[in-house]
Amino acid sequence: MAKTRDRITLTGVRVRAHHGVFDFEREAGQEFVIDVSVAVDLAAAASGDDLARTVHYGELAEAISAAVERDPVDLIETVAERVASVALAFPAVEEVEVTVHKPQAPITVPFTDVAVTIVRGRA
């Protein structure tokens, strides 16, 4: 089976959460920014103008936000894995690329952003 090149992309989903290694990160929380791109065969949905044959990006955004908000963890790598699992739970999703940005990371030198990116597919 050929790998689909069709994608639905959500960029800049902003979620306030309490992830981090340090106590002050867990207590105060901070903003995380999530980019998600899912590989979905969009031909059937487009030809029939049928939402049921694609991924409802509003529902995807809500599921991503809920996944990031819950259960604080130390690493943004863990957050990225959680988001990937949520996206892959949508039946039409074949593969997902997730970037978790932590623009307020506790880094002592000037920086614009720190992020991790993972790509996961169906087993």
Q: Which residues are catalytic?
A: 102
CA atoms within 13 Å, Cβ hemisphere of 34: 32
Query: How buried is residue 70: exposed, middle or buried, by Cβ count under 10 Å (0-12/13-18/19+)?
Result: exposed
**33: which strand partners?**
14, 101
CA separation for the pair 100, 20 (Å, rounded):
13
Whole-angstrom distance, CA of residue 25 vs CA of residue 34: 18
